[in-house]
Amino acid sequence: KAGVTQTPRYLIKTRGQQVTLSCSPISGHRSVSWYQQTPGQGLQFLFEYFSETQRNKGNFPGRFSGRQFSNSRSEMNVSTLELGDSALYLCASSLAGSGAYNEQFFGPGTRLTVL
């Protein structure tokens, strides 16, 4: 079974631009979560999508948004990029549901550099 895939793997943007990152979960997984990793703040939870609905959200400004499609693929968008948005963005997928914890499987990440 193929793992979580993220595209693109590397991205360079300038301040003020916007960017869209894509994540394809493991087949059969219906939940997709996004995390930001920076040297200063470490790994931080951005949001989780399940059945095309945002189910959980971290403490990030409204410039960070996401969506999930009917095939469970997800995109995240960052508008009006700032230098501090330079980070590794990790996507993770899990089976579904609430209640018992569902293990998350991570993709390789998208390295975003904002100049």
Partner 1 sequence: AQSVTQPDIHITVSEGASLELRCNYSYGATPYLFWYVQSPGQGLQLLLKYFSGDTLVQGIKGFEAEFKRSQSSFNLRKPSVHWSDAAEYFCAVGATGAAGNKLTFGGGTRVLVKP
Side-chain half-sphere exposure of 107, counting CA atoms within 13 A: 29
SS3 category, 42: strand
CB of 57 to partner 1, least distance (A): 9
Smallest separation, CB 51 to partner 1 (Å): 11
d(CA 3, CA 92): 10
CB 16 within 8 A of CB 81: yes
Nearer to partner 1, 24 or 33 (CB): 33
Q: Do 1 and 27 contact (CB within 8 A), yes or no? A: yes
Min. distance of Cβ 80 from partner 1 in angstroms?
Answer: 26
Point out which residues bind partner 1 (CB under 8 A): 4, 31, 33, 35, 42-45, 48, 50, 55-56, 58, 90, 92, 94, 98-109, 111
Comparing CB distances to partner 1, the nearer of 14 and 56 is 56
Q: How far apart are CA 5 and CA 73, in angstroms?
A: 10
By beta-carbon proximity to partner 1, the closer residue of 34 and 78 is: 34
Measured CA to CA, the distance from residue 26 to residue 98 in angstroms comes to 18
Q: Which is nearer to partner 1, 62 or 99 (CB)?
A: 99
- At closest approach, how far in Å is the CB of 47 from partner 1? 9
